[in-house]
Amino acid sequence: MRQTIGVKIWRWSIISVVAFYLVVPLYAMFDFSTKPFGFADSGRTFRAWALIGTQENLIEAVTRSLITAAIVMALILFLVVPTAIWVQLKLPLLRRPFELLCLLPLAIPAIVIVVGIAPLYRWISINLSESPITLAGVYSMLILPYTYRSLSAALDAVDIHTLAEAATTLGAGISRVIFGIIMPTIKTGIINGSFIAIALVLGEFTISNILNFKTFQVVIAQIGRTNGHVAVAVSLASLLFVVVLLLLIPTKKRQGAVLDVDLT
């Protein structure tokens, strides 16, 4: 009993410290964004929050960033996930090289990546499009380490070989095995990777700024040069939006759920 109480106290102590570490900066942002920043203001004011919708290029930047995030998630869903499953099922000897390839962007500094891709994006801007949506390619590369680790953990928790053999025995093709059977069983890992992709796209600044693309973070930085209160309000609003999305993720598995797959 004493050990159980001690474990609970230790657990809640860690949770309290982490919560304090995360909540205090958010409160500081809210406190700063509601402070008076004009002679007409007295006391707390939400004028900075009211001015969010009036900022030039902000809505357009958010829309483009969300479209870019959707493209990155589509690439993860239809390219990275099937490849990871195929390597684990059919090419186990290539699992380590594939993991090394996916983790490689972590070892390359962002400035080196920018220098390497700058000529490519200069050609894309001249011949194809100047839209920041084209950054989906380099963002897909940057997200690989985090997406792969999430997928790898989900795949290791499921006996996909048994699922694949059973489905093949019942007449399912390889595409049905990957997209209809294995992917639904690792949906938690896919969802986690998708939200990491959204966080990276909405939070990345270095590459887009150096390449002169007006993404969400670049626009926030430009707003901060003229009105820091509004910039902080926008940043806090985006963080709250991501938190709401995370809270919407189901955390409990349905009791008695069974895998019902139509192989016909």
In the chain, domain spans: 61-247
The structure's pTM equals 0.75
Enumerate the H helices of 34-91 as residue ranges: 47-50, 58-75, 81-90
Quick one: pLDDT at residue 17?
92
Architecture of domain 61-247: Orthogonal Bundle (1.10)
Question: How far is it, in rounded angstroms, from Cα 52 to Cα 62?
Answer: 12
3-state secondary structure of 117: helix
Question: How far is it, in rounded angstroms, from Cα 223 to Cα 58?
Answer: 9
Write down the mean pLDDT value for the chain. 81
Quick one: pLDDT at residue 230?
85
DSSP letter assigned to residue 30: H
Of all residues in the chain, the percent with pLDDT exceeding 90 is 2
pLDDT tens track for 33-47:
888 766 566 677 788
pLDDT tens track for 185-240:
888 888 888 888 888 888 888 888 888 888 888 888 888 888 888 888 888 888 88
Q: Is residue 144 a contact partner of residue 80, using CB atoms and an 8 Å limit?
A: yes
Max distance between CA atoms of the chain, in angstroms, equals: 76
Mean pLDDT calculated for residue range 169-174? 82
